[in-house]
Structure 1
Amino acid sequence: MIQNYKYLLLCTVLFLSCNPKKTTPDDVERPNIIYIMADDHTTQAFGIYGSRLASLNPTPTLDKIASDGMIFDNCFVSNSICTPSRAAIITGQNSQANGVLDLEGMLPVEKQYLPQEMKKLGYQTAIVGKWHLHEEPASFDYYYVLPGQGQYFDPEFLVQGDKAWPKNVVKTSGHSSDKITDATLDYLKNKRDPNRPFFLMHHFKAPHDDFENAPRYDDYLKNTFIPEPESLYDNGNNGSVGTRGKNDSLTRILGSSVSHRNLIRNQAMNLYIDSTIYKNYGNAEDYHGKQIEKFKNSPEEKAHTSKVYQEYLKRYLRCVKGVDDNVKRLLDYLEEEGLLENTIIVYTGDQGFMLGEHDYIDKRWMYDESMRMPFFVRYPEKIKAGSHTDAIINNTDFAPTLIEMAGGKTPDYMQGKSFKEILETGKEPEGWQQSTYYRYWMHLAHRHQNPAHFGIRTKEYKLIFFYGKYWVDTDDPNAVWNKESWGNDFTNHTPPAWEFYDLKKDPKEMNNAYKDPAYQETILDLKKQLLQLREDLNETDKNYPHIQEVIDTYWDD
């Protein structure tokens, strides 16, 4: 009897092994997702975006990834500064909704939505590299992140451990781009469960300023002349009284520059070219309201500006080269392990960056070089190689899209929209957004001296309102705010002003056509759209009456 039972049991096991259970949708193998983001890697510094730098071939690996998938030509940041952009990406929300308005904003664990949603879908989650949201990234299963901005050389990393955040520190030796990639490869090889899909955020520090490349790139582009933007020397009719002052009276203190134009912060200070004033940044309070000699773009000044620009770009592009080479290391591993084809690869920057356009450095501006983000996705199973789209997306749309590509649904609390259908069909779904909203809150901060502003961008036009005040009322003696990370004691306001650009006729934004009679109907329509966006996104200034007063006073100006 026992022998018969054993025989029947053996037959049952053999039958089941030969007839596996029918698969259900939950059993279908889900793709791995690697989200790669470099800090301040702007569209001008790629081959694929056809900029003046494309001929230098700065990103061969990244261009190949892009050509194997879909390239987005109209991807925009909602606030061009590191911490708010990263918060928007993790939450799928704009700044007022997620509470991160400036560089001091923190993202607590309960708002770290993207890894939480991915874990609900069965993904193991990890983040390596720059985090910059201050609170512990505890919603990730695994983290290995830089403290704050981190260091280019011999970086330390914060990890899980026995001590409370942020006291578990790992010290390393080498360049940050290499060490971040080392850590990602270690996670993929040794830390993850190979039987479960993974969602990995791989964040480079590079090419954030001050640009410090690995020594092996010191001779890269050494004897190459880097093409210069025309607006480096002649800014035409770009700007307004809000960015230049009346009769250009504020040009010496607003907008950090490549040239000597800006007396408070210019790139020569960053590059030791003017060694006697290196980091000897002035204070806007020292200049505001005083007579300052008008900037003269003399032949001598142009020669100086060109010298600074060439060094500025070479250092920047050497950091970009390090990023591109390290992405190749990551791709090579995925291919060797047979993971490449079932892994969605996303590449972007956390915002754009000014590479001398309009004689500006850094980001923050709503001008396209600062506002536009590089963005492309490779996933051969679903995305056609060599595809492009001009659909408008922004960084609040990233989380919804990644969640839906992983098999989930966009949570109601997210403001962004999934563009999964665009990736898979190459077409905008009916009713897809035709504009995007922008808001920069950090008025005159970090001695970059960018006035606070907001606006709307469509495929054809851009409308910007510079309201020129802090988000806290500095005239209120009871206002409490921390200026430490902002770097200024400047509490003056700048003139409110509108700017309007026809991006089809004027893609480099060299002509503020706000007063042009031919565009008045278009501008009125854009203002209506802008008001509606601010309402829909809960981006109004009802909590900031000192700003709302400026808006009401100058809205029809």
Structure 2
Amino acid sequence: MRYSSKQFKRQLARACTCLSLLTIVAACGNQQPSATNTTSPVAQSKPTQYNILYIMSDDHTASAIGAYQSRLARLNPTPNIDQLASEGTLFENVFATNSICTPSRASVLTGQYPQTNGVLDLNGTIPTEKQHLARLMGEAGYETAMIGKWHLREEPGAFDYYKVLPEQGLYFDPVLRDKNQGKWPHNEVTIKGHSSDVVTDISINWLKNRKTDKPFFLMHHFKAPHDMFEYAPRYEDFLKGVHIPEPSSLYAQTRFGSKATRGENDSMLHELGTSISKRNPRRNMGIHMEIDANLSDDEYTHQAYQEYLRRYLRTVKGVDDNFGRLIDHLKQTGQYDNTIIIYTSDQGMMLGEHDYIDKRWMYDESMRMPFIVRHPGKSHAPKKADVIANNTDFAPFMLELAGSKAPEFMQGMSFAPVLDNQPLQNWRKGTYYRYWMHRAHHDVPAHFGIRTKQYKLIFFYAVNNDLNFQQTDKVYYGMDWSRKDGVIPAKTPTPVAWELYDMLNDPDEMVNLYNDPQYKDIIKELKAELKHQRESLNETDAKYPHIQQVIAKHWDD
């Protein structure tokens, strides 16, 4: 078609106008989408900063997530979390530095180990000025919120918004402290319902009602599946009548442990570590589950385990369903492909392995943390990663994803290059672990150690850091199931001992190899690395000379 001179000019003008509009649209597509924008995600496909949704449950061990392919996977306990894993990266070797709630959360928030951030046990606190992750995310341009379980005592004041459970929190009709309802700690509100549903409702409402155009950084923390496993009534029939696979070490642990965990000649088996079976007559899951004490030992153990796991997995089901609700909300509002989603837990959980329940131990079921990441901008990220990481690394990792850099006072390191299939430079040989609360609550001896990809070396040093600690202290939350007065009887001192496990050839940690002469050189290398990390990480017990004396005396045992 031929155009006259005027027609040609008009067509040229239209073309230039269209080109200008396309340029504007392209430029807008590279801007961070508005928090309230509910248009198609196509227009938001390349934000300069992604939202970050960090979801953390409590005591949700990796073995109770289908994607980790444990004995429980066939029960399909977590289809929504499994779907996230299928779209993202599943990290196989992420560990807590101390497998109890408060220290773990402190390490996530500070990027520091306990002796540096000061949180050694359940009495620790993190004041506003030390809530580094929240502050630095705000400085990086994010609107920040903390919703759900907090467990760090002081106000989460570094967040733009918070609505958190006091202390451990309630499963039903929870009380929460709301930043918009007055001065901490008197800003309490009560909300009817199960805590997993309530916390999710709060997060969704916060996402819906944000007024800024900043990207969001939301820490959404479930209380579940922490004991006492109070699940919502709608899950009463979940796994009813289903046989739950049992760990091979539930009934027999002949070469597992040491005199530190079993006593000389197994003399302390009835005292150390809360059990499934009758082994610990003062505190075992059969008592809590009201199993008939007249049953044979094996039948008692079997019934206690089955009921324990049903209740635990019913609370897990509530977490997974509410996780799915959060994902659905992101998809419905066009934010799913603008949001980095992380799912983890504050530590693992013993589910009958070695006849133990609870956490605290340095054994893998306790110290391993599930960690799954879906980054919409990393379509070629690996499906699995085996890097040895720990919870001090979470803050540096998320800061790098936010386009920021971790400050030098953070001891953790970012493993974000893994998502780009890049090698990590100057990475640690193994991860350091420390449990301080000698024989408190679940009668777990104090210990520290190192976990590499192949080996685990543990030193049980058998003393409390607090010389005034009373061996007849009150039971945590009054949950001594065999005494009405809540007082623990006087406790026998435990021996000092080492344990060594080959995690490649013995992943269930069934055989302690420490006294096997074939491993003499390996033990020497592991002790050298353990000493190096303790010195470099400010974990040398400078304030506790009585612990140093034990270490010096028994280091070469």
Question: Structure 1 length normalisation: TM-score?
Answer: 0.88
Give, in whole Å, the separation in 1 of the partners of 2:303 and 2:465: 37
Question: What is the aligned partner in structure 2 of residue 431 from structure 1?
Answer: 426
Residues 111-153 of structure 1: per-residue CA shift (max 9 Å, x gap): 1000000000110000110000000001000001111111111
**CA distance change for structure 1 residues 103 and 63 in 2, over 3 Å: closer, same or farther?**
same
Give, in whole Å, the separation in 1 of the partners of 2:490 and 2:191: 39
Matched, 1:70 2:89: yes
Question: What is the aligned partner in structure 1 of residue 455 from structure 2?
Answer: 461
Question: What is the aligned partner in structure 2 of residue 288 from structure 1?
Answer: none
For the 8 Å contact 2:173–2:191, the answer to whether it is kept is yes
Matched, 1:61 2:80: yes
Matched, 1:135 2:154: yes
Give, in whole Å, the separation in 1 of the partners of 2:368 and 2:66: 15
Aligned to 1:412, which of 398, 408, 411? 408
Give, in whole Å, the separation in 2 of the partners of 1:83 and 1:168: 22
Letter in 2 for 1:370: S
**CA distance change for structure 1 residues 516 and 335 in 2, over 3 Å: closer, same or farther?**
same
Letter in 2 for 1:364: R
RMSD over aligned Cα atoms? 2.4
Question: What is the aligned partner in structure 2 of residue 231 from structure 1?
Answer: 249
Give, in whole Å, the separation in 2 of the partners of 1:398 and 1:273: 41
Give, in whole Å, the separation in 1 of the partners of 2:196 and 2:64: 17
Question: What is the aligned partner in structure 2 of residue 149 from structure 1?
Answer: 168
Matched, 1:355 2:374: no
Deviates more, 1:24-33 or 1:463-472: 24-33
Question: What is the aligned partner in structure 1 of residue 551 from structure 2?
Answer: 551
For the 8 Å contact 1:130–1:204, the answer to whether it is kept is yes
Secondary structure of the equivalent of 1:61?
A: helix
Give, in whole Å, the separation in 2 of the partners of 1:189 and 1:25: 22
Letter in 1 for 2:495: P
For the 8 Å contact 2:252–2:354, the answer to whether it is kept is yes
Q: What is the CA distance between 1:235 and its match in structure 2?
A: 0.9
Q: What is the CA distance between 1:193 and its match in structure 2?
A: 2.9
Q: What is the CA distance between 1:482 and its match in structure 2?
A: 8.8
Aligned to 1:182, which of 201, 209, 225? 201
Give, in whole Å, the separation in 1 of the partners of 2:458 and 2:93: 17
Give, in whole Å, the separation in 1 of the partners of 2:253 and 2:431: 25
Question: What is the aligned partner in structure 2 of residue 311 from structure 1?
Answer: 307
Question: What is the aligned partner in structure 2 of residue 525 from structure 1?
Answer: 525
Question: What is the aligned partner in structure 2 of residue 421 from structure 1?
Answer: 417
Give, in whole Å, the separation in 1 of the partners of 2:124 and 2:490: 20
Residues 518-542 of structure 1: per-residue CA shift (max 9 Å, x gap): 1000000000000000001000012
Aligned pairs, number: 515
Secondary structure of the equivalent of 2:457?
A: strand
Question: What is the aligned partner in structure 2 of residue 7 from structure 1?
Answer: none
Give, in whole Å, the separation in 2 of the partners of 1:146 and 1:273: 32
Secondary structure of the equivalent of 2:152?
A: coil
Matched, 1:388 2:384: yes
**CA distance change for structure 1 residues 310 and 491 in 2, over 3 Å: closer, same or farther?**
closer
Superposed, which structure 2 residues align to 1:94-243 within 5 Å?
Answer: 94-161=113-180, 163-190=182-209, 192-243=210-261
**CA distance change for structure 1 residues 411 and 24 in 2, over 3 Å: closer, same or farther?**
farther
For the 8 Å contact 2:115–2:538, the answer to whether it is kept is yes
Q: What is the CA distance between 1:170 and its match in structure 2?
A: 1.3
Question: What is the aligned partner in structure 1 of residue 336 from structure 2?
Answer: 340
Question: What is the aligned partner in structure 2 of residue 268 from structure 1?
Answer: 286
Question: What is the aligned partner in structure 1 of residue 483 from structure 2?
Answer: none
Q: What is the CA distance between 1:380 and its match in structure 2?
A: 2.5
The answer for unaligned runs of 5 or more in structure 1 is: 1-13, 276-297
Aligned to 1:365, which of 361, 367, 371? 361
Question: What is the aligned partner in structure 2 of residue 498 from structure 1?
Answer: 498
**CA distance change for structure 1 residues 97 and 489 in 2, over 3 Å: closer, same or farther?**
farther
For the 8 Å contact 1:67–1:386, the answer to whether it is kept is no
Give, in whole Å, the separation in 2 of the partners of 1:162 and 1:29: 34
Deviates more, 1:154-163 or 1:67-76: 154-163
**CA distance change for structure 1 residues 386 and 403 in 2, over 3 Å: closer, same or farther?**
closer
Secondary structure of the equivalent of 1:232?
A: coil
For the 8 Å contact 2:339–2:376, the answer to whether it is kept is no
**CA distance change for structure 1 residues 431 and 307 in 2, over 3 Å: closer, same or farther?**
same
Q: What is the CA distance between 1:431 and its match in structure 2?
A: 2.1
For the 8 Å contact 1:76–1:372, the answer to whether it is kept is yes
Letter in 2 for 1:357: E
Question: What is the aligned partner in structure 2 of residue 320 from structure 1?
Answer: 316
Q: What is the CA distance between 1:299 and its match in structure 2?
A: 8.4
For the 8 Å contact 1:70–1:384, the answer to whether it is kept is no
Secondary structure of the equivalent of 1:193?
A: coil
Q: What is the CA distance between 1:164 and its match in structure 2?
A: 2.4
Aligned to 1:374, which of 367, 370, 375? 370
Deviates more, 1:486-495 or 1:318-327: 486-495
**CA distance change for structure 1 residues 422 and 242 in 2, over 3 Å: closer, same or farther?**
same
Give, in whole Å, the separation in 1 of the partners of 2:285 and 2:489: 21
Residues 146-199 of structure 1: per-residue CA shift (max 9 Å, x gap): 111111111111111463211111111111100000000010011x23511000
Give, in whole Å, the separation in 1 of the partners of 2:182 and 2:198: 23
For the 8 Å contact 1:68–1:384, the answer to whether it is kept is no
**CA distance change for structure 1 residues 300 and 162 in 2, over 3 Å: closer, same or farther?**
closer
Letter in 2 for 1:252: H
Question: What is the aligned partner in structure 2 of residue 9 from structure 1?
Answer: none
Q: What is the CA distance between 1:383 and its match in structure 2?
A: 4.8
Give, in whole Å, the separation in 1 of the partners of 2:29 and 2:116: 37
For the 8 Å contact 2:349–2:358, the answer to whether it is kept is yes
For the 8 Å contact 2:286–2:300, the answer to whether it is kept is no
Deviates more, 1:504-513 or 1:385-394: 385-394
Secondary structure of the equivalent of 2:431?
A: strand
Identity across aligned pairs (percent)?
A: 56
Q: What is the CA distance between 1:26 and its match in structure 2?
A: 9.5
Letter in 2 for 1:445: A
Question: What is the aligned partner in structure 2 of residue 450 from structure 1?
Answer: 444
Secondary structure of the equivalent of 1:201?
A: strand
For the 8 Å contact 1:443–1:468, the answer to whether it is kept is yes
Secondary structure of the equivalent of 2:120?
A: coil
Secondary structure of the equivalent of 1:341?
A: helix
Q: What is the CA distance between 1:55 and its match in structure 2?
A: 0.7
Letter in 2 for 1:540: T
Letter in 2 for 1:63: D
For the 8 Å contact 2:292–2:300, the answer to whether it is kept is no
The answer for unaligned runs of 5 or more in structure 2 is: 1-16, 33-46, 479-487
Q: What is the CA distance between 1:24 and its match in structure 2?
A: 13
Secondary structure of the equivalent of 2:456?
A: strand
Give, in whole Å, the separation in 2 of the partners of 1:253 and 1:89: 32
Q: What is the CA distance between 1:483 and its match in structure 2?
A: 6.5
Deviates more, 1:491-500 or 1:243-252: 491-500
For the 8 Å contact 2:291–2:300, the answer to whether it is kept is no
Give, in whole Å, the separation in 1 of the partners of 2:507 and 2:333: 44
Superposed, which structure 2 residues align to 1:478-517 within 5 Å?
Answer: 485=476, 488=488, 490=490, 493-517=493-517
Give, in whole Å, the separation in 1 of the partners of 2:476 and 2:64: 28
Give, in whole Å, the separation in 1 of the partners of 2:456 and 2:206: 43
Give, in whole Å, the separation in 2 of the partners of 1:484 and 1:110: 32
Structure 1 segments of 4 or more deviating over 4 A? 17-28, 481-492
Letter in 1 for 2:346: D
